[in-house]
């Protein structure tokens, strides 16, 4: 049996930058606070905690003074920066550049007269919270068809998307908002603008991971349980290979999954470290025996 690791797997550039900044600070000082987990991957979070990282929530952040805190790639609302100023907190801002640009666009859209900012994304996702903060938390967050009822179609609408969302679903919602607008008011009265703000680096993984999944008898998808990107990409793997198994830790991998398999592919979310994929490959080799780990595919 041959095991191959997806060469396109591993961190996206935004996550890589955040971890690099954290490691640099930890190597110099041995301690660093992170406002929320840097990454939605439990194994990588534990590794960083062993280096001295301490993950805190917003309540702990508000009570903290005279310390250094990392802002993760997801970004934060303006209120977080105001708290840091008041509490004399030094920030290492690892907000993804893609998210930073989106925050700026959302803020500008909100400043337009009467404009409703609508964000397609998960309501409690940290990136969405940061984006909504650019509007004074007045943005309308939509996840389902029922959420469209919050929109006033008589006012201008500007739609954005959480950067890690499914592009196909975003396009469906874009069409549905236009249709709903035309159902509620005259077509020439509808002022609707949609900005495709989904990260290209993330969305480009769609085709690649679908092709990857088709090549193997079994696919092991490694991802943190809370990773939105992981749930989405694993779904694509499952659509293209029914023998796809999602795990958060290598100990979850079961020997019986590989009965009769000749080729096994290992991949993961943009928040899954390559070292964890390599660990999964070694674990599969150990439990199945007589296994060859091939070149990275």
Q: Which residues are catalytic?
A: 127
**219 and 237 in contact (C-beta within 8 Å)?**
yes
Q: What is the DSSP letter of 137?
A: T
**Three-point CA angle 96, 102, 104, nearest 5°:** 110
Q: Where do runs of H (alpha helix) occur along the chain?
A: 13-29, 42-50, 58-63, 78-86, 97-110, 126-133, 167-184, 200-203, 205-214, 228-240, 274-288
User: Cα(226)–Cα(164) distance, rounded to whole angstroms?
Assistant: 13
Residues making up the chain, counted from first to last: 297
User: Cα(116)–Cα(127) distance, rounded to whole angstroms?
Assistant: 19
Q: Would you state the structure tokens that stand for residue 53, as one six-digit string?
A: 């990282």
User: Cα(50)–Cα(31) distance, rounded to whole angstroms?
Assistant: 10
Furthest-apart CA atoms within the chain: distance in Å: 68
User: Cα(77)–Cα(260) distance, rounded to whole angstroms?
Assistant: 51
How far, in Å, are 86, 105, 266 from residue 294 at the CA level? 54, 45, 11
The number of beta carbons lying within 10 Å of the beta carbon of residue 115 is: 17
How many Cα atoms are found within 13 Å in the side-chain-facing hemisphere of 137? 7
Give residue 111's region: left, alpha or beta (phi > 0; psi -120 to 50): alpha
């Amino acid at each position: 049996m041959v095991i191959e690791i997806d060469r396109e797997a591993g961190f996206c550039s935004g996550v890589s930058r955040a971890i690099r900044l954290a490691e640099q600070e930890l190597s110099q000082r041995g301690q660093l606070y992170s406002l929320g987990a840097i990454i939605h991957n439990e194994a990588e979070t534990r590794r960083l905690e062993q280096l001295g990282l301490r993950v805190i929530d917003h309540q702990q952040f508000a009570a903290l003074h005279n310390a250094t805190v990392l802002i993760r790639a997801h970004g934060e609302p303006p209120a977080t920066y105001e708290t840091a100023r008041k509490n004399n907190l030094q920030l290492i801002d690892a907000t993804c550049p893609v998210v930073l640009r989106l925050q700026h666009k959302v803020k500008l859209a909100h400043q337009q007269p009467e404009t409703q900012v609508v964000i397609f994304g998960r309501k409690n996702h940290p990136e969405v919270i940061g984006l909504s903060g650019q509007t004074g938390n007045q943005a309308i967050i939509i996840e389902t068809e029922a959420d469209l009822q919050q929109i006033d179609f008589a006012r201008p609408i500007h739609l954005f998307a959480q950067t890690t969302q499914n592009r196909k679903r975003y396009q469906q919602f874009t069409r549905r908002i236009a249709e709903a607008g035309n159902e509620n008011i005259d077509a020439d009265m509808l002022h609707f603008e949609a900005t495709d703000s989904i990260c290209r680096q993330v969305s480009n993984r769609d085709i690649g991971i679908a092709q990857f999944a088709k090549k193997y008898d079994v696919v092991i998808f490694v991802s943190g349980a809370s990773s939105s990107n992981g749930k989405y990409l694993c779904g694509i793997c499952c659509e293209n290979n029914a023998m796809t198994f999602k795990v958060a830790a290598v100990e979850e991998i079961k020997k019986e999954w590989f009965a009769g398999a000749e080729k096994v592919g290992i991949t993961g979310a943009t928040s899954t470290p390559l070292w964890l994929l390599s660990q999964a490959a070694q674990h599969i080799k150990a439990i199945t025996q007589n296994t060859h780990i091939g070149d990275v595919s």
